[in-house]
Structures are given as structure tokens and as C-alpha cells.
Amino acid sequence: QMQLVQSGPEVKKPGTSVKVSCKASGFTFINSAVQWARQARGQGLEWVGWIAVGTGVTNYAQKFQERVTFTRDVSTSTAYMELGSLRSEDTAIYYCAGTLEWELPSSFDFWGQGTLVTVSS
């Protein structure tokens, strides 16, 4: 079955960066897009952006545009999200999600388990 497995929890200091990985299996990675969303404790979901795996085209939510970078490694079927200039408000669970609708990804069809990123001095 289609599966995404994310890297483990991270604790970072303000001003630094974090890189979260998302390893895919059970589908043709290159024919997919990977969405990223986050959820602060007790809060709702917030879209961060997406990467089309085959083309490498990215689309970032305006709020994160200056600080986030998505990359992918097709040889290992892994997508990455790097978020820089971390502040305490970035403390959240970060989710990757896959969709086979890679040209204009509109949904989050199957999800990773989430990665808790804690930003604290």
C-alpha cells in the first residue's frame, strides 16, 4: 500500500533550521506530488506547500515562502522539507502527504505519521 514514513522528532534553537524527511513506498514516486502541512498543538491544519516529484516544481504558501525549501531524491524515493529562521511559533507536527495528482496537487491523499519539531532556547 502507499506509505510515507517521516523522520524522527527534532529539537531546535531559535534562528536555526530543520530538515524533515519523508520516505515513500508502494507507489511510483516520480509520478506523484508531496504536500507538506503542519499542526500546532491543539490547533488546526496549515498548508506549507508542495513539490511535484517528477519535475521538481515547488509551490510554497506565501507565509513560508522566504524560509522553506522542498527537495526530493528520486533514487531513494525521499522528499525533504527544510525550514529556516526557526522561531517558537514554528513548534508543531509537520506532515508530508502524497497525491498522484501531481500537476496541480489539490488534496492530501495519504499521509505520513508526522514529525514533531520543537523550537526552544
Partner 1 sequence: SYDLTQPPSVSVSPGQTARITCSGDELPDHYAYWYQQRPGQAPVLVIYKDSQRPSGIPERFSGSSSGTTVTLTISGVQAEDEADYYCQLADYSTATYLLFGGGTKLTVL
Note whether 27 binds partner 1 by CB under 8 A: no
At its nearest, how many Å lie between partner 1 and the CB of residue 107?
A: 5
Closest CA to 34 of 3, 63, 66: 3
Q: What number of H helices and E strands is found in the chain?
A: 0, 11
Note whether 116 binds partner 1 by CB under 8 A: no
C-beta closer to partner 1: residue 58 or 91: 58
- Taking residues 61 to 80 in sequence order and writing x for each that binds partner 1 by CB under 8 A, - otherwise, the string is x-------------------
Rounded to whole angstroms, the Cα distance separating 103 from 113 reads 24
